[in-house]
Structure formats: structure tokens, C-alpha cells
Structure 1
Amino acid sequence: MKKLFIVALLVVGMTSFAQEKEVRPERAQMGQLTPDQRNQLQLKKMTLELDLNASQQKEMSTILAEQSTKREAKMAERKANKDSAKKRLTSDELFAKKSQMLDEQIVMKERMKKILSLDQYKKWDDIKGKRHNRIKKRMAYHQNRKPTKIGDKK
């Protein structure tokens, strides 16, 4: 009787692990969209969150298009580097890469300050900070394989 119970538990456990994981529908659909469609959806989302007017929407659409082309170029570069021999960056290369990324973030913040009103900018910065914390938690979880406690810092 005891062996039968253990076998039944094993069968139930194995069948539950054998089932396919459900892929998030948003992510699967986002991969099928063109870059222009993704930019439009992102602009509409920002318009709803920040209550952008028509001129702000026009300026944001150009910024989103620029970011999208940069992102696509970086992804293509990463794929090309991934196929080649895996090498670790030297400290100088790593410093240059991080410095460039931070410079781009500074320029983006300045552009956003020019486009958005003070209230809109504060709201945008808050949303960006929350999104950054979520990504940070997710990365920490996957690296450590255990949940981490990260405060609501910006």
C-alpha cells in the first residue's frame, strides 16, 4: 500500500511537470509586431500615462523611433558577437560601454525635461524607476535562483 501511494505521487508529480508552460500572450504578440507598430503602441501608452498633448506626442514619436533603431542595431550587433568566439570584455571596454550607456541616459533625461511639463516629468521618472526596480528584482532572482528583497529605491 505504501509503495502504491509513492508511485501515485510520482506519477502525479511527473505529469504536472510535463505540461507545457503558458507563454505570456503579450510577449508573443509583441514579437510579431513591426517596429513601427511597437512604437505606436508605446506612444499611446505614454499618452495615457502622462496625458501628452499633440505636439508632445509628435516629439515623443521621433524619440521612440530613434530609440527603436538604436535598439535594433544593438541587438544585431549582440547576435553577431554571440556567434563569434565568446570573450570577456576588458576593463577599458567595459568602462567605455557603460560610460556610453550612461551618457545616452543623461541625454534622454534632458530631452524628456524639454518635452514634458514638470508634473509629467515627475510621473515619467517615477514610472521609469519602478520599471527599473522590477527588472532588477527579476535579474537578481534569475541569477541567484532565490527571491531577493530590494527596496523601492530610485
Structure 2
Amino acid sequence: MKKLLVIALALFTLNGMAQEKDKRSDRKDRSERRMEMTPSDIADLKSKKLTLKLDLTEAQQKEVHALLLSEAKANEGLRKKRTAVEGEKKEKPSKEEFIKMQNLRLDQQIEMKREMKTILNAEQYAKFEKMKPREHKKRGHRNKKQDQKRDKQHDEK
């Protein structure tokens, strides 16, 4: 009876570990697909999502698309600078570089907010403002769960 219980426990454990690996590989595939997207693809998708959520007019759609396209092009340039050439080891940015990147990112967000305020009417802008904190809240909640898993795995080792 004990042998049967040990075998069943081992099978359940191995099955659970296999499912976790599948989830990780799916995330990796998704991020690779995102990296392959052109700035115009990114701008198209984001502007269509905003059109659905904010009920934008044709003129607003064009302005938002142009704004998102310029943002996507700038981000692509920054991403290309940061990606290591194949064969080279990826290095973490120094403290100064990290601070510089964060300041640049925040400046972009401020500029984007200003531009969106000029494009959208008051009601649409209020909806736009409410959209952002939810995404960050969800992301933060997900990160907490991942941190807890990492801590448990680290304690087990």
C-alpha cells in the first residue's frame, strides 16, 4: 500500500512540474512574437483597442495612431540599443544607465499623457486615465505571486 501511495504521489508531482514548464514556454513564445512585431503593427493594435474602449472618432483614431506609431518607433530604437549582439553576454545596466532609462520612460509617459489630453474629450480622457492603473495593479498582483513562488523554491533548495 505504501509503495502504491509513493508511486501516485510521484506521478502527481511530475505532472504538475510538466504543466509549469509549458506555461513558461508559452510566455517565452509570446514575448518573441512581440519582438517580431513592427512599430506599425503595434500602433495598429493599440489604436484599435483604444478605439473600442474609448469610442474614438475617425479623426481621433488617426491622431492616436500617429502618436502610438511615433512612440513604438522610439521604443524599437531603444530596444535595439539594449539587445546584445548574438554571442555577446547580456549585461545588466549600471545604476546610472538604469536611472537614465527610467527617466526617459517616465518622460515618454508624461508626453503621451499630454498628447492624449489634447486628442481626447473630457469623458474619453477620464476613461483613459482609469484604464492605466488597472493594468499596473494586475501586473503587480501577478508579480507578487511569482515572487512568492521564487521564495518558496529558494527555501526548498
Fold shared by both chains (TM-score > 0.5): yes
Verify: 1:114 aligned to 2:118, yes or no. Answer: yes
Measure, in 1, the Cα distance between the counterparts of 2:92 and 2:79: 17
Measure, in 2, the Cα distance between the counterparts of 1:101 and 1:45: 22
- The answer (yes or no) to whether the contact 2:51–2:61 under 8 Å persists in 1 is yes
Verify: 1:137 aligned to 2:138, yes or no. Answer: no
Assess, with a 3 A threshold, how the Cα gap between structure 1 residues 128 and 81 changes in structure 2: closer, same or farther.
farther
Match of 2:2?
A: 2
- The answer (yes or no) to whether the contact 1:59–1:115 under 8 Å persists in 2 is yes
Q: Letter of the aligned partner of 2:22 in structure 1?
A: K
Verify: 1:86 aligned to 2:87, yes or no. Answer: no
- The answer (yes or no) to whether the contact 2:43–2:69 under 8 Å persists in 1 is yes
- The answer (yes or no) to whether the contact 1:113–1:121 under 8 Å persists in 2 is yes
Aligned-pair distance for 1:29?
9.6
Match of 1:36?
A: 40
Match of 1:21?
A: 22
Q: TM-score normalized by structure 1?
A: 0.75
Counting matched residue pairs gives 144
- The answer (yes or no) to whether the contact 1:43–1:57 under 8 Å persists in 2 is yes
Whose helix fraction is larger, Structure 1's or Structure 2's? 2
Aligned-pair distance for 1:88?
4.9
Q: Structure 2 stretches of 5 or more lacking a match?
A: 151-157
Match of 1:127?
A: 131
Aligned-pair distance for 1:30?
5.2
Q: CA RMSD in A?
A: 3.0
Q: Greater relative contact order: 1 or 2 (C-alpha under 8 angstroms, separation 6 or more)?
A: 2
Task: Determine helix, strand or coil for the equivalent of 1:80.
Answer: coil
Q: Sequence identity, in percent?
A: 32
Aligned-pair distance for 1:33?
4.7
Aligned-pair distance for 1:44?
1.3
Q: TM-score normalized by structure 2?
A: 0.73
Task: Determine helix, strand or coil for the equivalent of 1:145.
Answer: helix
